[in-house]
Amino acid sequence: MMNAHSTLYCVKCAQPSLVNQGQKAYRCHSCDFVYFHNVAAAVSAVVVCNGQMLLVERAQQPSEGKLDFPGGFVDYDESNEQALKRELLEELQLPIGHMQYLFSYPNSYLYKDVLYSTLDSFFEIHLSTKPALVLQQEEVSRYLWLDVSNVDSNQLAFVSGQHAMAAYLRNNE
Ligand SMILES: [Zn+2]
């Protein structure tokens, strides 16, 4: 949700008359335009190889410098699976085949003073050998292979990632 106390201008009539009406609807009192700040879909990969998990360090706000699962937002007309394949190619130049859906967790994502509510879906990907990775520097500053037995869910950047890591570790004890 955007800051309910600041003046919001209507994108249709440009009057300062856009008012929040509950959780996600914003109505313009001048022209009756309605904007829905809907939940955004995002995907994350739990990539594992020989007891180690692939995590990336975020190069951007929010949560710059913190650990995250590789992934990103779903584009228009994409499935979750297509989005994750595209993101892994863009971020790491990692081509993937089979992926297994695990679970989803909601998250809040503050970007340039606008709070986005997301639904993050997690997929598990097993690799038999560690691939050569090439980083997309604007998105990720480095990647790490961590022993699954040593990963701490509090190291993760977002609440959804913390929940996902805790659930993954619980399921794989
Ligand atoms: Zn308006």
pLDDT of residue 60: 86
Report the pLDDT value the prediction gives residue 62, as an integer from 0 to 100: 84
CB 135 within 8 A of CB 58: no
Peptide bond into 62 cis (omega under 30): yes
Q: Measured between alpha carbons, how far is 57 from 64 in angstroms, rounded to an integer? A: 8
Q: Are 63 and 160 in contact (CB under 8 A)?
A: no
Smallest CA-to-CA distance from 22 within 9, 37, 41 is with: 37
Instruction: Give pLDDT, residue 23.
Output: 84
- Tens of pLDDT along 157-168? 999 999 999 999
Q: For residue 13, how far is its CA from the centre of ligand 1 (angstroms)?
A: 4
pLDDT digits (tens, 9 = 90+) for 26-72: 999 999 999 999 999 999 999 999 999 999 998 888 888 899 999 99
pLDDT, tens digit (0-9, with 9 covering 90-100), for 92-144: 999 998 999 999 999 998 888 888 999 999 999 999 999 999 998 888 899 99
Amino acid at 87: E
Q: Is the pLDDT of residue 85 over 70?
A: yes
- Ordered by where they begin, the domains of the chain are 1-38 (no CATH), 41-160 (3.90.79.10)
pLDDT, residue 64, reads 87
pTM of the model: 0.90
* pLDDT score for 129: 95
Cα 17 to averaged position of ligand 1 atoms, centre (Å):
7
Ligand 1 mean position, distance from CA 27 (Å): 8
Check residue 59 and give its pLDDT: 87
* 111 SS3 class: strand
pLDDT band for position 4 (50/70/90)?
low
* Residues having C-beta closer than 5 Å to ion ligand 1: 10, 12-13, 28, 30-31, 33
C-alpha of residue 168 to centroid of ligand 1, in Å:
46
Q: What are the backbone dihedrals phi and psi of residue 169, each rounded to the nearest 5 degrees, phi first?
A: -65, -40
